[in-house]
Amino acid sequence: MTRAYPFAIKPDNKLSVKDLFTVHRDNYEGTEFDLTKGLAAGPFGNPNRFEGQAEAMAGKEGKLTAVIGEFERPLNIYRCVYAYVNQSRHWLPDAIGGVV
């Protein structure tokens, strides 16, 4: 059963730019949803999941049947070419206060 999660939460501590980069690289390593181990892992522990009935089983006749259920979806999906992390530094002049 899917839980309803809040749109946003206040972190316990201030986050650095490095913290945000880490979040965007996460594949749930070290948790029960780790996409680099077990049945969820692809070849060589690859956590990427590709669409188009990639999760299917072949029957006796070779016909593909979709597997019921889904893998967890990490933040860093294979089709994401780039992501932005913006930092606003109010104590600096406007010309240099914002960093992308």
Q: Where do the domains of the chain lie?
A: 13-100
| Amino acid sitting at position 75 | L
Confidence (pTM): 0.56
- For 24, residues 6+ apart whose C-beta sits below 8 A from its C-beta are 75, 76, 83, 85
CA torsion through residues 23, 35, 66, 68, sign: negative
Q: What is the pLDDT of residue 84?
A: 83
| Amino acid sitting at position 67 | V
Q: What is the pLDDT of residue 13?
A: 93
- For 89, residues 6+ apart whose C-beta sits below 8 A from its C-beta are 97, 98, 99
**Is there a contact between 41 and 47 (Cβ–Cβ < 8 Å)?**
yes
Q: What is the pLDDT of residue 41?
A: 81
Q: What is the pLDDT of residue 53?
A: 52
pLDDT along the chain (100 residues), means of 10: 83 90 85 83 80 61 71 76 84 90
